[in-house]
Structure 1
Amino acid sequence: MIANENIHIPSAAPGIPPLFPGQRVVAFIGVPGSGKSTEARRFRPQDGWVHLTLDDFRQAIWPPHRRVYWEVREGHLDKPAQSLLHAVQQEALRTALVEGFNVVLPDTHLRLSAFEKELQIIADFGIEIEWKLFDIPWAVLFDRNKTRPEHHRLPATVLLDSFEAMWAPDAWWRALPSHQIQIIKQERAA
């Protein structure tokens, strides 16, 4: 991996023990359709895991489906909608950690600026994030996107922008220590 020295990724300060020993946070890095939701199902709520995903918060705040959020953002409510969405996730994250839950964050995490506050909350609890990066070839991703339900399907241009951001030479995740990231290869359609 290529480390970008200009990137600061908040992490737990040495010597700060977690509030609950053994408490974990697992976060995913991957484009839409790369298998994040499927992998997230392995983290069972019955085993103490809480799933905090922006997609679910979008649907809860702006029903009946996830696309309503994007329609709201097209107007004058772009910044307030983003702010509300992230504030809800940050407070849910803080509360889950205070209550002793393990947390899985199955969002794309492609742009560090979009979730730096969440990283700081986790660091403040003395927890080192376990990252899972979803490596999927473009052709497989493109085919998967075509078979997704319409409300999950992305325009090819948006999917390509996400794919290119993920694999950019200066992508933020390249600065993660290798012991903190697991690469999950996706070679075929799910």
Structure 2
Amino acid sequence: MSEIENNPMENFLFGIKSPITKDRYSRRLGNFFEFLEYGGSLETQAKQFMLHAILLPDGKVMTMGSNPTRKCVEKRIEIFSPPYLFAGDRPVIDDVKSVLKYEESFEIQMHDGTEILDTALIRPSNTTHCLNPEQRYIEIDTVQNGDKISSKIPKNENLVPPGYYMLFVRNHSGVPCIAPFVRITH
């Protein structure tokens, strides 16, 4: 057995190609591949050094990248559907203001009054060399009353710098809505 085959997790995490099949991975990693039954998929192309993973407004993750120093120039982009997308129906935001100010209270109009688990602002990605210096997840306090969610943008600009954010609402199954973009400003 080769060294590559001895470390299936490293093969998965770092995109090393090997002749290992899904069945051989499954025997070693138990139910790790269970999510494949729900339509999720693993990346099929090695991304290596210049890996980028970007959260999309629909909760999917776009991956891309290559390693020019190893003469690997991968130009394809892949979309990964995490298991949480298959845990039930999505909550739907019918209406929310597109520009929000610090310490401003605002309402999120939900489609059908689905009970929510949490609400968060996530900064759009700005990745380079496997790093995302703009990455931010800011959970915001909410109060739900039927199909309306009342919330407030935090005051601290160090926590929430001005700019664009995806506004995610998740239900109790952990399924996110398709996030609208909102702009936080003074």
Where on the TM-score scale, by shorter chain, does this alignment land: which range?
under 0.3
Please report the TM-score for the alignment, with normalisation by the length of structure 1.
0.23
Q: Which structure has more RCO (C-alpha within 8 Å, separation ≥ 6)?
A: 1
Q: Where is the strand percentage greater, Structure 1 or Structure 2?
A: 2
Please report the TM-score for the alignment, with normalisation by the length of structure 2.
0.23
